[in-house]
Amino acid sequence: MQRRGLLIILSSPSGAGKSTLAKRLMAWDPTLSFSVSATTRNPRPGETDGVEYYFKTKPEFEAMVDAGEMLEHAEVFGNYYGTPKGPVETAMMAGRDTIFDIDWQGGQQIRRSALANDVVSIFILPPSIADLETRLRGRAQDSDEVIANRMAQSRDEISHWAEYDYVIVNRDVDAAEAELKTILMAERSRANRQPGLNEFVRGLNKEFEAR
């Protein structure tokens, strides 16, 4: 009873923990695929092209958009981010779920696409704004100016929480991870996501008739 793969969208303001939760979810279920985004921003220390992101120049990124090779794309803090379409469609047709660590703009585009029926969208909220800033500064990866820009953008990002199917307040990462697992298991079990269910039930009825 192979089903189509789910497109699991995780969104949050920067620092709320969506990347950490995505990594935990993949460690729990190795069959999950991670959607590697393309971006025009510079790599951070330790990041590898094709692993964390596909690092592109702006002309290269724009050429991919023009060729219809992006499932979604947006400009964030002066850089482009987007999801290459090919790997996502391949995983979906093979019955593998794909996790998207993207912002509300990208999530909105995917939810409005032809793949909307396969989407499960989850928004991650921080327990407080003070905690959000503490997490951003604790990463020690961005300048004060970049952190200030991210904090200024957070209010707008949080305003889109109601567009999502599920919302998790990340007060404790272990508890948030448990909530994510529950959501995923429930969505996988929906009757309309199991294409062979009718045939399976007919088989059960035949067993009744043969008794």
**Averaging pLDDT over each range in 66-75, 120-129, 136-145, which range is the top one?**
120-129
Alpha carbons 75 and 79: distance in angstroms, whole number: 5
pLDDT for the residue 64 = 95
More confident residue, 102 or 163: 163
Cβ neighbours for 13, distance < 8 A, ≥ 6 positions apart: 126, 132, 150, 153, 154, 157, 158
Residue 208's pLDDT is what? 96
- The predicted pLDDT at position 140 comes to 66
For residue 74, pLDDT over 90 is answered with no
Mean pLDDT check: name the lowest of 15-24, 43-52, 134-143, 166-175. Answer: 134-143
Q: For the ranges 119-128, 132-141, 184-193, which has the lowest average pLDDT?
A: 132-141
Phi, psi dihedral angles at 158 (to 5 degrees): -65, -30
* 165 contacts 6 by C-beta, under 8 angstroms: no
- Domain 7-34+97-209: which CATH class? alpha beta
Amino acid 87: pLDDT: 87
For the cut 90, the answer to whether the pLDDT of residue 7 exceeds it is yes
| Per-residue model confidence (pLDDT) at position 3 | 85
Across the range 112-122, mean pLDDT stands at 92
* Banded model confidence at residue 1, pLDDT cuts 50, 70, 90: low
The average confidence (pLDDT) of the chain is 91
Q: Where are the beta strands (DSSP E) in 77-135?
A: 79-84, 98-101, 119-125
What is the four-CA torsion angle of 158, 163, 167, 173, rounded to 10 degrees? -50
pLDDT (0 to 100) of residue 38: 94
